Amino acid sequence: MLARVLSSAVIGIDAYLVEVEVDIAQGLPTFTTVGLPEAAVKESRERVKSAIANSGYRFPADRITVNLAPANIKKEGTGFDLPMALGILAATNIIPESALAGYLFLGELSLDGRVKAVNGSLPMAIAAQKAGYRGIIVPTDNGQEAAVVEKLAVYPVRTLGQVVDFLNGFESILPERTDLEAMFAAPDATGADFSEVMGQEDAKRALEIAAAGGHNVLMVGPPGSGKTMLARRIPTILPAMSFAEAIETTKIFSVVGMLNRTQPLVTQRPFRSPHHTISDAGLIGGGHIPRPGEVSLAHNGVLFLDELPEYKKNVLEVLRQPLEDLQVTISRAASTLTYPSSFMLIAAMNPCPCGYFADPRHACRCTAHQIRRYRSKISGPLLDRIDIHVEVPAVAYKDLMGQTRAEASESIRRRVVAARRIQFQRFKRTKIYCNAQMASRHIRTHCRIGEDANQVLESAIDRLGLSARAYNRILKISRTIADLEAAADIQVDHVTEAVQYRSLDRSRQNM
């Protein structure tokens, strides 16, 4: 007696199809799973056996062999419980095997037969839709998530018995529906707004430029100057997520198991703020069973690293690849996985160990050697990959008590969106979406400057000893400033302002 059930598994953030073959033959009662199953998959036999028995069906006292094909890829997770159970029931003629055709099944079984949620149902639903399946049967808690995929019938189920009755035609299940428009129309849950930030006009200007061009930012200022407050409001001035971006971001959260069941689609740009004690694997991804790290969870959003020099040096250095390539490649002996990691890096730090270097209202207790050692924790190559360095001084009392309301995020966002629209038209025949992603050939084409601007830039490079990468960063920022003004050409004042956003390069020369 042989039965075949279609299922799926995830590798990286994409799913692949798995055929669950169940063979029941005469012999001593055994339950063997082959096809490179990991520990959780091997343990399925106990859950499947109890779930079938406690759902009122007879578990065969025969030799059972389950094969997970393709057999050359390691299978992980608990999503094969339901297809294994259905394969056994089909092999024992409790349900007709023909009823299984065209459906993809996934779900973890509890001992009493309930079908529990699994990770990665969205990429699995996408795989089923691309393969042309007529439907996918998922746990109820995964129904809204899988129903995000269009042109695919998604049937949410609660128990193994309900699935059996559905396949036998004894019970009907209404396909799940998801209101995508309502999800994208939902307001920002944080309620944060730039109008709440008093003063810091220079920092706000720098962050507006960063949002308009997708640039990375390092804010330097004393404790309490508002660096964290500013960083948390950056997602409110970024352009709204497109459906494609939302799907790609949601896939990452789905695979990790961090998707909110009440919000099955990530429609707000992520804001990730890991603690400085994080490991390199936690930040970049990896582990014994590789999984995405914080840089991938921040995909299409913001990664905020507060107190940047407090992070371990090896942790900061692994940021180089995702900042440059917009993706992370994790290599292990058995496989190599690539996770997307296109994010805005927003970092914050004090100017010195005590935090009050160059603060007119507080005396700095640090020596020059201590300040150099503190700042040397951030390597030159990493600083070169951060486009904008902005100083965030302590807020003056008159700004704190000012009666004039600061500019709201929505007003800033409109200018950012207008600049991004110019960039979209500029790069519409490429895979570039903002100025920060330009390569050298794009800079030569779109960042031409006149003789006056060239002299200003040459003088700055000679005086500050900037690297070639910093030179390119200045040109990118200049292009973004011009886009905010809807200027076709980069002017001298655009370059001059862009040079000002290399403050750490200036401070390194002065120390």
Q: Per-residue pLDDT tens, the chain, 511 aa: give them.
A: 899 999 999 988 999 999 999 999 998 899 999 999 988 899 999 999 999 999 999 999 999 999 999 998 889 889 999 999 999 999 999 999 899 999 999 999 999 999 999 999 999 999 999 999 999 999 999 999 999 998 999 999 999 999 999 999 999 999 998 888 888 887 776 778 898 888 888 999 999 999 999 999 999 999 988 899 999 999 999 999 999 999 999 999 999 989 887 788 999 999 999 999 999 999 998 877 788 999 999 999 999 999 999 999 999 999 988 998 899 988 876 678 889 999 999 999 999 999 888 788 888 889 989 988 998 888 888 888 899 999 998 887 666 666 677 889 999 999 999 999 999 999 988 888 899 999 889 999 999 898 888 898 888 888 877 777 788 889 999 999 999 999 999 999 999 999 988 867 654 444 4
449 belongs to a structural domain: no
DSSP 287-341: TTTTEE-HHHHTTTSEEEESSGGGS-HHHHHTTHHHHHHSEEEEE-SS-EEEEE-
8 A C-beta contact, residue 392 and residue 221: yes
8 A C-beta contact, residue 40 and residue 48: no
Asked if residue 120 and residue 217 are part of one domain, the reply reads: no
For strand 115-116 and strand 108-109, is the pairing parallel, antiparallel, or unpaired? antiparallel
In Å, how far are 199, 333, 407, 484 from 395, measured between CA atoms? 6, 52, 17, 26
Q: Which amino acid is at 49?
A: K
> Helices 409-426 & 201-213, crossing angle to 10 degrees?
30
DSSP 465-491: T--HHHHHHHHHHHHHHHHHTT-SSB-
Range of the domain at 395: 194-428
485 belongs to a structural domain: no
Report the alpha-carbon distance of residue 33 to residue 42 in Å, rounded. 6
Report the alpha-carbon distance of residue 339 to residue 321 in Å, rounded. 12
| Helix H or strand E encompassing 388 | strand 388-391
pTM: 0.90
From 428, 463, 489, the end of a domain falls on 428
Q: How many domains does the chain have?
A: 2
Predicted pLDDT of residue 509: 46
Predicted pLDDT of residue 377: 87
Asked if residue 128 and residue 252 are part of one domain, the reply reads: no
Tokens of 493: 């004042």
Asked if residue 347 and residue 200 are part of one domain, the reply reads: yes
CATH code for position 233: 3.40.50.300
Asked if residue 112 and residue 238 are part of one domain, the reply reads: no
Report the alpha-carbon distance of residue 226 to residue 201 in Å, rounded. 12
From 409, 428, 447, the end of a domain falls on 428
How many other CB atoms sit within 10 Å of the CB of residue 456? 16
Asked if residue 408 and residue 285 are part of one domain, the reply reads: yes
Asked if residue 198 and residue 163 are part of one domain, the reply reads: no
Asked if residue 380 and residue 235 are part of one domain, the reply reads: yes
DSSP 166-206: HHTTS---PPP---HHHHHHSPPTT---GGG--S-HHHHHH
Classified as helix, coil or strand, 17 is strand
79 belongs to a structural domain: yes
From 398, 428, 458, the end of a domain falls on 428
ω before 156 within 30° of 0 (cis)?
Answer: no
